[in-house]
Amino acid sequence: MKLIVGLGNPGKEYANTRHNVGFRVVDLLGRRWNIEMLSEKFHAWFGSGNAGGERVVMLKPTTFMNRSGQAVMAAGKFYQLELADLLVVCDDVALEPGRLRIRKQGSAGGHNGLADIIQRLGNDAWCRLRIGIGDAPGAVRSSHVLGRFEADEVEMMDRAVCRAADAVETWLREGADAAMNRFNVDPAE
């Protein structure tokens, strides 16, 4: 069984913000795999089903970004999850908009949602897929990440969300190394 967690903030006021690209990827995967995420379980919107012969559980934490680890820990304990079977999808201000980066472990890199997951699990040895949203030098970072994409960014970010969903499917079918080799490149290449 695999656990796929998209990070974001609950509520209509946060829909389509930069910080919610993780939610968007999980929503797209749910549509692709016919998995509805209408139940609340583990402090998250929850859905489970099969994807490519693999049992998957998907979560969108309802705890707000800074407490995302609460949902991951609750689901991980319930399913007795191995950390190698966890993939977290989130935004990243350090990456240029639309760029993807998959890692099998690592620091939070300043991302409060990842930091909370690391702290609660007591370990950073699990996969994360970061989607670049860029930074806004001189702007208040919270305003940037909680803001919506500019008109000229929308199409590019729609493509990035689709590529990120493809990366998750590659991770499921072929493993983290294959996903890293295929998706940790400039999208223009």
| 1-29 confidence digits (pLDDT tens) | 999 999 999 999 998 898 999 999 999 99
Sign of torsion, CA 43 45 48 51?
negative
Note whether 164 and 100 are within 8 A (CB).
yes
What is the rounded distance in angstroms from the CA atom of residue 118 to the CA atom of residue 132? 20
Residues 25-44 pLDDT 10s: 999 999 999 999 989 999 99
Beta strands in 70-185 (DSSP E): 86-92, 100-103, 127-132
**pLDDT less than 50: residues of the chain:** none
Which residues form the catalytic set? 19
HEC string for 127-144: EEEEEECCCCCCCCHHHH
Round to the nearest angstrom and report the end-to-end CA distance of the chain: 33
Q: Residue 180: what pLDDT?
A: 96
Structural domains in the chain, CATH included, are 2-183 (3.40.50.1470)
pTM: 0.94
**What's residue 71's pLDDT?**
97
Residue found under tokens 């996903």: 179
